[in-house]
Amino acid sequence: MPKRISVIGRTPIVDEHYMPSDLQVVSMSKLHKHVGSYYGKIVKTLKEEGIITKEYGMWKLREDLQDKGIAVYVTGRMRCFYHFYLSWTPEGVEFIKEIINHRTQH
């Protein structure tokens, strides 16, 4: 897990300008390229499974998954405020693939 600058809940936050070179993450908006499904279906499935919720305009990971190394928040400054984006580690991408595949098989 990368050196974190802070946490939201127990999910680490990493600065996009100081991202460790060994940390690979996939944003929510690009997840479909790695999972083999479309964005709307991925979000719907993750919400129905209770894995993510939207709070105050940002995605929040379910509490028991926050320190499992499957996701981080990537932050950066945009003009005078900071933005936070939930992004998935390679382990998180595999976790989501399993959920999507399990759902389509049943």
Integer Cα distance of 15 and 22 in angstroms: 14
CA distance 90 to 71: 9
Per-residue pLDDT of the chain (106 residues), as tens digits, is 444 456 677 788 888 888 888 889 999 999 999 998 899 999 999 999 999 999 888 899 999 999 999 999 998 776 777 778 899 999 999 999 999 988 777 6
Q: What is the pLDDT of residue 19?
A: 81
Q: Which residues touch 62 (CB under 8 Å, ≥6 apart)?
A: 50, 51, 52, 53
pTM above 0.95, yes or no: no
pLDDT of residue 1: 46
